[in-house]
Amino acid sequence: MPDRPDSTVRIVLGAAGEAQPAPDATAVITTVDKDATTRLEVGDKTVRIPVGPDDSSQTRFMPAPVITTGGSTALAEEPAAAADSDSGADHRPEFALVGIVSGVLGLLGQVVPEGAGRLFLLLALALFGPGAALLSVANVRNRLVSWALTVAGSLATITILSSLTLWLRVWEPTAWLSALAGVTIVGSAVQFFRLSRAKVPLILGRVGKPYDKVDNGLALGVIPFVTLAAGVGLWILALAQISPDQVGLYGFSAALGVPFVVGMVLLFIGFAVELFGRARPLVMAAHLVVVPIVMQATVPLLDGTIEYAWTYKHIGVVDLIRENGSLISGSDIYQQWPGFFAAVAGLSQVSGLDGLSFAAWSSLLFALVTSLMTAALLRQFTKDRRVIALAVLLFQACMWVDIGYFSPQALVFALMLAFWVIVSRWLVGAPEIKGEPKGRIGRLRAWAVRGMPPRIETDARTRRFAALGAAGLFAAIVVSHQLTPVLMMVPLFALTILGILRPRTFLVGLVAVMLIFFVPRLGSVNSQYSLFSFDLLSNASGNSASWNTPEQEFSATVSRALAIGLWLTALIAIFLTRKKLGRVLVPALIGFLPMVTLVAGNYGGEAIYRVFAFSMPFVGLLIGVLWAGKGRRGVPAMLASGVMLTVLLLAGLQGLQGQLMVHQVRATDIEAAQYFYANAEPGSGLVLVAPNFPTKLEANYGDYNKGHVSVDISLIGDPLFTGNINGNRLPDIEQYIRSMNYPTNYLVVSDAMDDYTDYFGTADDNAMQSLDSALRASGNWQVFYQGPGVAIFKLVGASATQ
């Protein structure tokens, strides 16, 4: 409509004369630029085109294989509705078959010998079974989205089911996992035969319009395969040549050296050649699998132990649930949010494997899962496969916050992305603005949503089921983590106020779910994390008050420069679309509004890291549009992009693994901790010289440090000893420990703590050795445990005041 360039055309596929075509066969295209085109392939179907502004207008029917109207391929130029013009293929038989196979594998996981094989079979059920059964009923008509929701639905089902059986004290994971597998098989089989009788074909290959085929020469077509193999080979070579004790104060990248850097340059040049050339989906997907392997598999392969001393607290909660089948402490924050722990405890108990044997691979598993979720989410905003691939790669390479380590955050981050997939696909769209907007707020709202694509037409039943599915994912998040639902609420409120999110009762229901669960538990959270500090600068500064060593300063500077640079580039992308802000409004609000929560509190110094992680999928999308939105580029752009991606990866790795010397947990320290929890007197106190020891890794962790269940007691970190601790302070240390009034007290000194104080500059170089010597010479202390590089001392002498 040349006289109204901001109007829309609704195109409905259906038979001529059909009164009400299926909503899933509807596409809405906004015409915004008269010189831009979007082609909608409809074959020999009949096209129904309203020629007026609404559905009640006069319509005409015409057979037409191609309709041309406004739009282009980049996000800044393309309506989201056009991005949703899927092939229309019915993939339900495919997921019914997946449900059957996953259920059978889950049942096999009950009968094969205990061990890794059984765990893999159970994971097949946990990752795909229940979700596939649900997707065999829900006709999503997009394979990528369907697979993402399959995984998310399965994880949410396992989480909620395991939590309910735990709360109801009917903890029998073997029984309910078997029942879940049986229900999955039966439901999927019934649906499969039902669809077969209805002659719905089983589609295992790709359907829809063929991808654009670009022949840019044999050399450029082969290069991505060669560089991929070379990059992986050089990474393996570098990894094979180092040992854990060769990782220095500057971290993992510096230890791997030149071969690793060369390998990454080759890897990313090959990716850039493919990105700006043929853009073959499978080739780009191969790179998207290799990058998280490089980022997240290196440490488990190098060390064989779980990274981060604080991760072992989660192992203890899992073991507690396994051994007791119930929660035993109302003051332990982990037991108040048991979703993740209950789900893992069920899999651990049935597989016969302790969490220590598999938790090290959590980061890699969830990196792959969240990459799938991110791709499906970005598909709601653009159909350009180049932009999606680059955005996912940026999300992987620049994620210096380890969001996937063995923790509730890993699970809820994946579920949160799937939640936004549902919301952005079925529940958001341009609000109805009737007449000329009045007042400043009205004009601001009209400006903000200008250019936003119209809602995808769906019936009320579809929207209800979408809202129900999103609410289910939200419930699994609520029972697993404290901060994530709060971060999600901020953009949800904004989208609802702007009229973008409908129905509004959806938000009301989510708030009710969160408050019902949170209110009784707010006291314990606030006592540990100080929720309402209202100090923005402090809350945004992270959990390090100062940089005391060049190594710490280097990693912190690189991480902050990377985060700020990415955020600023994404803001530039938003600025460039200011005249049609509605095109990027939804990803911008979801990505950046969680920063508002930094005004209230810092969540133990971690809030800023969660905010960065939550923004990254949308930051990657906005940057991807600027970087790859124009499609094909020449060889110079390919080379420059490969080098730039390598720089971003190295910066991300520096933030992620720059502190690897500190984050490495030695097997000898794990053995010492296990000995303590097996032999120490219950009710006693355990004090660490520095917070770098795997505490609470056994089910009986609640018997120690009572009153400090969620927090370790360490001397370094207390102003009384930080920067001023050695053997001469032993009388002060004894007095400090006795004042806690535990009947028996233990003190841990280790080489890992020496590494910690060296890296953060919180003690002199010889502080640990001096303290160790003083403890051994004192008559008030005796060696309770001695291992390579670690000693536990027991306080046995009388107080000097007695």
The predicted structure's pLDDT at residue 268: 97
The predicted structure's pLDDT at residue 82: 37
Residues 475-494, mean pLDDT to the nearest whole number = 93
The predicted structure's pLDDT at residue 79: 36
pLDDT digits (tens, 9 = 90+) for 710-751: 678 999 989 999 989 999 999 999 999 999 999 999 999 999
pLDDT reading at 25 higher than 80: no
pLDDT digits (tens, 9 = 90+) for 425-454: 999 988 877 777 777 778 888 888 888 877
The predicted structure's pLDDT at residue 331: 75
Residues 560-579, mean pLDDT to the nearest whole number = 93
404 forms beta bridges with none
Residues 27-42, mean pLDDT to the nearest whole number = 39
Count other C-beta atoms under 10 Å from residue 376's C-beta.
27
244 burial type by CB count under 10 A (0-12 exposed, 13-18 middle, 19+ buried)? middle
Burial of 191-227, coded b for 16+ CB within 10 Å and e otherwise, reads bbeebeeeebeeeeeeeeeeeeeeeeeeebbebbeeb
Residues 504-526, mean pLDDT to the nearest whole number = 86
Lowest model confidence (mean pLDDT) among 230-234, 331-335, 419-423, 590-594: 331-335
Q: Which of 26-30, 197-201, 362-366 has the highest mean pLDDT?
A: 362-366
The predicted structure's pLDDT at residue 2: 41
Rounded Cα–Cα distance for residues 518 and 20 (Å): 44
Rounded Cα–Cα distance for residues 755 and 745 (Å): 24
CATH number assigned to the domain covering 667-795: 3.40.50
Rounded Cα–Cα distance for residues 111 and 34 (Å): 64
Count other C-beta atoms under 10 Å from residue 405's C-beta.
22
- Cβ contact 76:98 at 8 Å: no
Banded pLDDT at 608 (limits 50, 70, 90): confident
Count other C-beta atoms under 10 Å from residue 308's C-beta.
21
pLDDT digits (tens, 9 = 90+) for 186-216: 999 999 999 999 999 888 877 767 766 677 7
Rounded Cα–Cα distance for residues 177 and 189 (Å): 18
- Cβ contact 712:691 at 8 Å: yes
Helix axes 385-397, 281-296, angle to 10 degrees: 10
The predicted structure's pLDDT at residue 203: 85
Q: Show the DSSP H helices in 241-382 as ranges.
A: 252-275, 281-296, 298-303, 312-324, 333-336, 339-351, 362-378
**How many CA atoms does the CB half-sphere of 525 hold within 13 Å?**
17
Rounded Cα–Cα distance for residues 705 and 672 (Å): 17
* Sole residue written with tokens 């500090």: 533
Q: Note the maximum CA span of the chain.
A: 100
The predicted structure's pLDDT at residue 83: 41
Say what percent of the chain tops pLDDT 70.
Answer: 83
Residues 78-101, mean pLDDT to the nearest whole number = 71
Say what percent of the chain tops pLDDT 90.
Answer: 62
Domain locations in the chain as residue ranges: 93-198, 218-408+512-663, 667-795
Return the amino acid letter for 615.
S
The predicted structure's pLDDT at residue 182: 96
* Sole residue written with tokens 């059957």: 100
